[in-house]
Every structure is written in C-alpha cells, then in structure tokens.
Amino acid sequence: MNGGSLRNLARKLRKALALARTPRFRRGLRSGVGACIEHEPLLRGMDVRTVVDVGANKGQFALLALELFPQALVYSFEPLAAPFARLEAWSGRETRLIRRRLALTDATGPRTMHVSAQADSSSLRAITDRQTAQFPGTHETGLEDVAAARLDEVMTAADLVAPAFLKIDVQGGELDVLRGATGLLARFTWIYVECSFIEFYEGQALTDDVVAFLADAGFEATVYWRPHRNAAGRPVQTDILFARSPVEQ
C-alpha cells in the first residue's frame, strides 16, 4: 500500500470515529446517513437558534446542526422522495427538527427535478457535461415531479427566532432560493451557500452573482470554506459563509 492510500485510509478511519462519537450521529449512521462534519470547525461555537436547511438531502447537515446548536429549531427542506425517506428514517425522535418535502426556489408551483445518480447532485436545472466530468457518477438518471415554493411563502418572520442561520445547497439554484427568500433575508444573521465558479447546471448563477446579490441585501462574504479544485488546481466550487454586515444589524 503506497503513502497516498495509507493517508486516505487514515482519513476515512478518523471520519468514521468522529461520526460514531455521539448517540445522534450513531443513529444517523444506522440509517446510512453521516453528519457532514467537514463543516464543524467553521460552525462550532456559533449561537444559533433557528436553522433553515435548504437542499437537505438525507439530513447530513441537519444531523450536524442538531448536535452543534442544542437550542436551535431546524427546518429541513428536501423535494426528492428517496432522500426524504432516509431523512425521516433517522429523525423520528428529533423534536427540534421540522421536515418538509419541498423544493425551494423563486416561484411557487409544480416543478421537475433532474435526478442524479448521486442524489445530492440532483437539481431543478439540467446537469451539464462539466458537472459529470468534474464529479464522475453524477450523471442524470431520470426526472421527478416535485412541489416547489418560495421560502417567504412557507415560513414567516416569527418562525425565525434570532440568531437565524440559512444553509443553501441546491446545485445551481442558489440565487433562485435567495430571490424566493427576499421577504425574510433580513431575519438571518448568517447565510451559508455552496457556490460555483463555473457552470455545472444549465443557466445557473455563479459565485460573483450570489456575492453581489447578498451584498445588496446587507451580507458580506466572510469565509470561503474548503474550495473544490479541478485537476489544474483552480477552484471550481466552494461553500461561502456570509454574515450580516454590522451596519445592517
């Protein structure tokens, strides 16, 4: 076994141990769901009372949020039937988790999802060849009709007890979600968005578009977290933590 393989094995063992360290995380694992602990160093220590988890998939982020923010109520939105069922499977005991089978975007009404071989790469936008080249195994396998809505039509300001945290991971539909949340953005202290520097989904907004939109809404990009790079070493995708500008608070 070469050095690279040993390092990869050691990394997997460290993650497995980390995922088994709490009863909640172990409950997730029994349903085949691992908490996305790669975000933990960034988020630990925050005082959060409400989490809105857009693009919840199987609940990987919800698992982490429930563990890190013991006083928070978590609202998870996931439109696809299969991952939503996995979310429900591990979370039946979670009194602080509210689950909605719903896509969030900029308009309310029925929509069609492009389903990926990797469910968390599914999108309301068509998957491009760039996506499948950069992330093998994320090709489209079918379509699924889903219900969709604007966030500011399914939640109210009263739901968002401060400090509130909005997480968006929707594979190219980030700006659509934000436009559908304009009536509520002022209620959030932090917004955490997966952004792309190149187009992986047809017609998607890119990082600069999201940063500009949120700057106009009174948020500044504070951390670019764990950027994913292509073979040439250039960043193609990253998670960005936005914080409400001090003058806006």
Give pLDDT tens digits for 133-190: 999 999 999 999 999 999 999 999 999 999 999 999 999 999 999 999 999 999 999 9
pLDDT of 21: 84
pLDDT of 15: 76
Query: How far apart, in Å, are the Cα atoms of 227 and each of 99, 214, 235, 238?
Result: 29, 19, 6, 4
Which residues have CB under 8 Å from 79's CB, separation 6+? 101, 102, 103, 113, 144, 146, 147, 148
State which H helix or E strand residue 152 sits in.
helix 151-154
pLDDT of 4: 60
Global pTM reads 0.93
pLDDT of 248: 55
Burial of 41 (0-12, 13-18, 19+ CB in 10 A): exposed
pLDDT of 20: 80
pLDDT of 1: 53
State which H helix or E strand residue 16 sits in.
helix 3-19
- Domains of the chain in start order, with CATH, are 33-248 (3.40.50.150)
CA 155 to chain CA mean position, Å: 18
Q: Directed axis angle between helix 23-30 and helix 81-91, to 10°?
A: 140
**Which SS3 state, helix, strand or coil, does residue 78 take?**
coil
Question: Residue 109 pairs with which residues in a beta bridge?
Answer: 148
Cα four-point dihedral sign 244, 237, 75, 38:
negative
Chunked into runs of 10 residues, the chain (249 residues) has average pLDDT values of 62 75 92 94 97 98 98 99 97 96 98 97 97 96 98 98 98 98 97 98 98 98 96 96 78
pLDDT of 17: 78
**Which SS3 state, helix, strand or coil, does residue 155 take?**
coil
Q: What is the DSSP letter of 129?
A: H
Contacts 24+ apart (CB under 8 A), 138-141: 140/114, 140/115, 140/116, 141/115, 141/116, 141/117
pLDDT of 10: 62
pLDDT of 19: 83
Omega before residue 235 within 30° of 0, cis: no
